[in-house]
């Protein structure tokens, strides 16, 4: 039985986010955060991995030369908590959309976490807080190359000379044919976002195009790798 392609959505060559959620996939977070309950669910689900793998990605490089860290798109603050516990001399600002920052304050961050601050804004538009190191963990994979380039150019502009950016993502093999887990993540990105998982070479190219140098990449025993680049 053949289905009329245009009618079912098959064969359109793009995700069906608009039909499913009523918003274009460039605005995927509008749908994900459409209620407090769904926002809480998403933030809670995302944070669990960092209590297991957070120290691994943050120890891939010695980050102690960066006392002021800004975790862009830092969500619930789970990676920020790992960062202050691993680096006693550092302070972390969690930057995210206003509704996410509010939920993080209400449900995930306690006032005792004195070395973690929050800052609300849109990282595509608003001024980025000053920092020695910017973290982008599972942020670039949400977006197509053009949006990543725009964001990285903004991070480069905000970054001090000698400062850096740490990209934390699940990394594809150089030929893109594995690992299987990362390919499955990439399939998930294809269905739900305009983004994708990338190879270290693809991240290297995006970072270099934004102006960053000394790009170093480390895989970890876990699902996520770390890429450190300097201004
Ligand atoms: C896939 S989540 C990753 C969260 C966290 N970094 C982690 O690894 O668990 C992407 C994050 O980017 C945030 N985000 C999306 N668009 C944003 C924007 N325009 N400005 C600031 N944050 C944004 C989301 O709210 C979300 O917290």
- Active site positions, annotated: 141
Residue 154 maps to a domain: yes
Residue 195 makes CB contacts below 8 A (sequence gap 6+) with 140, 141, 142, 143, 144, 189
Residue 8 maps to a domain: no
What's the confidence (pLDDT) of residue 11?
58
Residue 5 maps to a domain: no
Residue 101 makes CB contacts below 8 A (sequence gap 6+) with 94, 118, 119, 120
Number of domains in the chain: 1
Atom index in ligand 1 nearest the CA of residue 33 equals: 25
CATH number for position 206: 3.40.50.150
Residue with CA at minimum distance from ligand 1 atom 3:
138
What's the confidence (pLDDT) of residue 144?
95
Gap between the Cα atoms of 151 and 105, Å rounded = 25
C-beta of residue 155 within 8 angstroms of C-beta of residue 136: yes
The label of the residue with tokens 């961050």 reads 109
Instruction: Using the mean position of ligand 1's atoms as its centre, give its distance from the Cα of residue 65 in Å.
Output: 25
Residue 37 maps to a domain: yes
Residue 6 maps to a domain: no
Residue 4 maps to a domain: no
Residue 217 maps to a domain: yes
Residue 205 is part of which domain span?
16-230
Instruction: Using the mean position of ligand 1's atoms as its centre, give its distance from the Cα of residue 74 in Å.
Output: 6
Picking from 71, 35, 41, 31, the residue whose alpha carbon sits closest to that of residue 54 is 71
**pLDDT of the chain, 231 residues: tens digit per residue:** 333 334 444 557 777 878 888 877 778 898 889 899 999 999 999 999 999 999 999 999 999 999 999 999 999 999 999 999 999 999 999 999 999 999 999 999 987 778 999 999 999 999 999 999 999 999 999 999 999 999 999 999 999 999 999 999 999 999 999 999 999 999 888 888 889 999 999 999 999 999 999 999 999 999 999 999 999
Residues enclosing ligand 1, CB less than 6 A?
29, 46-47, 73-75, 79, 96-97, 100, 122-124, 137-139, 142
What's the confidence (pLDDT) of residue 1?
36
What's the confidence (pLDDT) of residue 75?
98
């Amino acid at each position: 039985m053949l289905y009329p392609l245009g009618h079912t959505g098959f064969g359109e060559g793009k995700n069906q986010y608009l039909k499913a959620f009523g918003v274009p996939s460039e605005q995927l977070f509008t749908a994900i955060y459409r209620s407090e309950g769904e926002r809480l669910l998403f933030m809670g689900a995302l944070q669990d991995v960092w209590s297991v793998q957070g120290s691994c990605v943050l120890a891939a490089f010695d980050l102690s030369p960066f006392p002021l860290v800004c975790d862009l798109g830092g969500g619930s603050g789970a990676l920020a908590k790992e960062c202050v516990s691993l680096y006693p001399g550092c302070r972390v600002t969690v930057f995210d959309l206003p509704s996410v920052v509010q939920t993080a304050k209400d449900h995930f961050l306690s006032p005792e976490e004195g070395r973690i601050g929050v800052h609300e804004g849109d990282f595509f538009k608003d001024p980025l807080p000053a920092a020695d190191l910017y973290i982008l963990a599972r942020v670039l994979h949400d977006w197509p190359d053009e949006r990543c380039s725009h964001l990285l150019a903004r991070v480069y502009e905000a970054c001090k000379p000698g400062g850096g950016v740490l990209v934390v993502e699940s990394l594809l093999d150089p030929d893109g044919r594995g690992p299987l887990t990362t390919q499955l993540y990439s399939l998930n990105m294809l269905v739900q976002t305009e983004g994708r998982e990338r190879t270290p070479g693809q991240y290297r190219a995006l970072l270099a195009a934004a102006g960053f140098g000394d790009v170093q990449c480390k895989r970890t025993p876990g699902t996520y790798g770390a890429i450190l680049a300097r201004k």
